[in-house]
Amino acid sequence: MRYLLPVLFLVALLAMLMLRGYVHSEILADHRVRPPAPTDQVPKAILAGGPVIDARDESAPKALSVPDKKLVLTFDDGPDPVWTPKVLDKLKQYDAHGVFFVTGTMASRYPELVERMVREGHEIGLHTFNHPDLSFQSTSRIDRELSQNQLAIAGAAGIRTSLFRPPYSSFSDALDNKSWPVTQYIGSRGYITAFNNTDSEDWKRPGVDAIIKRATPQGTKGSIVLMHDSGGDRSQTVAALDRLLPQMEARGYQFTHLTGALGAPSAHTKVTGPQLWKGKAWVGAVAVSENTTSALVAGLAVIGVLVFLRFGLMLLLSFAHARKVRRAGFSWGAPVTEPVSVLVPAYNERECIANTVHSLMTSDHPIEIIVIDDGSTDGTADIVEELRLPNVRVVRQPNSGKPAALNNGIRHARYDIVVMMDGDTVFEPATVGELVQPFGDMRVGAVAGNAKVGNRDSLIGAWQHIEYVMGFNLDRRMYEVLGCMPTIPGAVGAFRREALDRVGGMSEDTLAEDTDITMAMHRDGWRVVYAERARAWTEAPESVQQLWSQRYRWSYGTMQAMWKHRRAVIERGPSGRFGRVGLPLVSLFMVLFPLLAPLIDVFLLYGLFFGPTQKTIMAWLGVLAIQAVCAAYAFRLDRERMVHLISLPLQQILYRQLMYVVLLQSWITALTGGRLRWQKLRRTGVVEAPGVIPPQRRPSDERRPVG
């Protein structure tokens, strides 16, 4: 289900977007209009005849006229949600009937208006589905335009019609050698083609008086009047009807449908059976697509606002944090000089453990080192013991998991401050000393260090480097100011032992024990802060599969921790403050926001192929520019080389998508009640901290260290 549901979701989303694009004439639309052509192949009787062409009998096409004192009001291009109801209201007010030549796109989107037209006694005609110039189209495209137009009408009103008006048409005497074959083909399909002989030209919006003048026939002559109920502002058309209808009624004219004026049977045929259900299914699918994409557009607007708010908040609060901790004379309190215990939980870390322990031995701060071997099968504990280093102890235990290993290490620790790190991480000489200084403030219960990617020489490593500097450390500055930092990184964190004892130590309830313990600290009233100079160098995953496994566990574990601490929302005191401030922010920025953010990319792709391409590109570049500014500021704060930001655009295109899918799968795992096991990542041991003398490497190690 974790793989099937995301695929089904993406397919459904793509289908809805494509359907929306189709009914909005953004996909497969053809807006070309053919210029006039010679007329020598058009029968003279047609050119000189009336505006209605009956070419159902190919051997004897007929041109029909509307009798005197009959006025057939026709409205093209609708239905429109704004103007069609107003037109219908005017016709109802004067007990007049007309013919609405509807397009399939509009009928699909507003079926209730088509149903109203039929219910109030008006006649419906086809105006194609996408409104193309049919003289450019193949017969198969013409058939599709007609059948899909009929499908929309069937779904909306339960009828089909035999009336047709081609797009971009005018008088029948304008038929030429390109449009006449189309009229013949339409007739062979059983349709009567209705042109007009009185054009109001309301689409030009020339003014109400001009529309009335052009829509009024001469004397008592019968007429088919062309008007529009869609395609733009039709307020002049509605106002003109309010005057035209009583004027023509006073002159003895009757307003009727086309078949009534010609004395022909109704153009409508009731649809039943499979055709009716196909039409209803089509209209229903369009409604789902319209509503879903409208919700997506609203979501995109929310995301846009959140993007600007989040980045603005990050920049503002990160600046405030940096200014505070870097000002001259700043201190957390009395300097912390007493020894601390460093816990290194390790499971099958033979490639990295020697580097990790050697980096700790260069520490400027007095420490004891406790390596907790969690049932390793690769000789990790033996490697540490063979080093024979002072103040280094190895504690062996059966394989029980990282939380159990840390709790075992806490029991063996001699000192009141406990530093925790991963077995694949190396510290700089000053890291421990910088990490523990905030404990000079007795309100501080935990400290997050500055985790950095050591193996950043690959593309995937560079992407994670950007993420760590910008997405993690810049966030931690912001969250510290807000008092709701969600996670002490497992690679570099420190805890007051009293605080650990009060919250019950490390919990095995979630897969993100670092997030779980951090939230527990907040709820117990402890401050959690960030030490920017406490740098630790960790080996990031070097393959997509390993990265997927790591982030999948992180995302799922974070959701577990949020669910575990959900009662904080309704509690009082420090727990309530965290629950009503921290949990919503974490939910918004770490779960909901990334989950909705793919909408930006979905609409980006849609806009590139089917929408305003130039505006779409400019909007995406604008968002990228904002991210680049934040990333550059984060790199400046961390004194990192800007060269790595060259890969930022590619990270946004490729890397972010992987994170989206990981988060989506985590959601699905949580919603379906799935369980996720701890997954061990493969390490190479190539990471070294600047300033640390590396140990002698085995000859088989040919990897270039990255500092």
- Residues tagged active-site: 76, 228
Q: What is the C-alpha separation between 659 and 217, in angstroms, rounded?
A: 67
Q: What is the C-alpha separation between 35 and 513, in angstroms, rounded?
A: 72
- As given in the structure block, the two tokens for residue 35 are 């210029």
Q: What is the C-alpha separation between 538 and 501, in angstroms, rounded?
A: 28
Residue 208: φ, ψ to 5°? -60, -45
Residues with Cβ within 8 Å of 390's Cβ and at least 6 positions away in sequence, in order, are none
Q: What is the C-alpha separation between 341 and 415, in angstroms, rounded?
A: 6
- As given in the structure block, the two tokens for residue 236 are 């002049």
- Give residue 132's identity as a one-letter amino acid code: P
Residues with Cβ within 8 Å of 321's Cβ and at least 6 positions away in sequence, in order, are 477, 478, 480, 481, 530
Contact (CB, 8 A) for 355 and 695: yes
Q: What is the C-alpha separation between 122 and 128, in angstroms, rounded?
A: 19
Residue 61: φ, ψ to 5°? -65, 145
3-state secondary structure of 596: helix
Residues with Cβ within 8 Å of 278's Cβ and at least 6 positions away in sequence, in order, are 151, 154, 155
What string of H, E and C letters represents the secondary structure of 82-142?
CHHHHHHHHHHHCCCCEEEEECHHHHHHCHHHHHHHHHCCCEEEECCCCCCCHHHCCHHHH
- Give residue 554's identity as a one-letter amino acid code: W
- As given in the structure block, the two tokens for residue 622 are 């604008």
Contact (CB, 8 A) for 124 and 163: yes
Count Cα atoms within 13 angstroms, Cβ side, for 180: 22
Q: What is the C-alpha separation between 208 and 144, in angstroms, rounded?
A: 37
Nearest by Cα to 418 from 506, 333, 347: 506
Instruction: State the helix-helix crossing angle for 613-637 and 598-609, rounded to 10 degrees.
Output: 140
Nearest by Cα to 349 from 670, 684, 37: 684
- As given in the structure block, the two tokens for residue 147 are 């059948």
> How would you label 342-378 residue by residue, b for 16+ Cβ within 10 Å and e otherwise?
bbbbbbbbbbbbbbbbbbbbbbebebbbbbbbbebee
Residue 593 CB neighbour total at 10 angstroms:
15
Contact (CB, 8 A) for 343 and 415: no
Contact (CB, 8 A) for 644 and 465: yes
